[in-house]
Chain A
C-alpha cells in the first residue's frame, strides 16, 4: 500500500463547478498535512495546511479525518486558473526519520 494515495484524475470540470479531491495516508502517527499545487513544468507551491478542525481559504476548504486517515480538498466556484495538479502531502516517519511524503497528485482541468 502506498504511504499517500490520491485519485490521479484527471478531473475535467466546467468553470463554476465544485470539485473535491480525496487522499488517504497509511501512517497513523503523522502529524502535519498539506495540499500543494503544481502547475505544468513549475515547482510545487504550498496551497494550505490541513487541520483536524478543518480550514478554509477563500474558495478552498481542507478537512482532515485522523480516525479514517483521510484528507480532502474542496474547491468551490472553479476558475480556469485552478487547472493544475494538486499534491496531497503528509509528514511521516519513513526510513527512520520524519519527512514529507508526497502523493502522486490529482490533475484538475477546468474548462470554459
Chain B
C-alpha cells in the first residue's frame, strides 16, 4: 500500500460542481506536490508546498485551488472545471530538498 493516501480514487463532476481532492501522508515529509497526468503523458507539476507554504504554482488556472491545512494534509479544490481537465491527479511528498518522491495512487477525474 502506498504511504501517500489520496481520496477519492475516482471522481466524476459536472462543469458547475465544486469538489475537493484530498491527500494525506504520515511520513513526516514537509514537501508536498500536486501533479496532473494525461493519458500516455508524463506527470506535469501543478503546485509545490514546502513547510505548509505554497512555494511553486506552475501557472495553474484559478479553477484549481490548493490548500495545505497542516504538514500531513494537502487538498486541491476544484471549481468550474472544463472537460479537458479530465486526468489523473497525483499527490506526492518528500523531505524538503529530496527529489525521491513518494506518489499517492491518484484520483482519476472525469469532467462532464
Q: Which A residues form the contact surface with B (CB < 8 A)?
A: 32, 34, 41-46, 49, 87, 89, 91, 95, 97, 99-100, 102-105
Q: Tell me the smallest distance from the CB of B101 to a CB of chain A, in Å.
A: 7
**Chain B binding surface SS class:** loop
Sorted from nearest, which 8 A-B pairs have the closest CB atoms?
A102-B42, A43-B103, A91-B99, A32-B99, A43-B105, A43-B106, A44-B103, A46-B100
Q: Please count the residue pairs between chain A and chain B whose beta carbons lie under 8 angstroms apart in the complex.
A: 39
Which of A89, A95, A103 is B58 in contact with, Cβ under 8 Å?
A95
CB-defined contacts of B99 to chain A, threshold 8 Å? 32, 34, 89, 91, 100
- The size of the chain B interface, using a CB distance under 8 A, is 20
CB-defined contacts of B56 to chain A, threshold 8 Å? 97, 99
Q: Tell me the smallest distance from the CB of B85 to a CB of chain A, in Å.
A: 18
- Counting chain A CB atoms within 10 Å of each CB, the highest count among B41, B42, B48, B108 belongs to B42
Instruction: Flag if B103 contacts A104 (CB, 8 Å).
Output: no
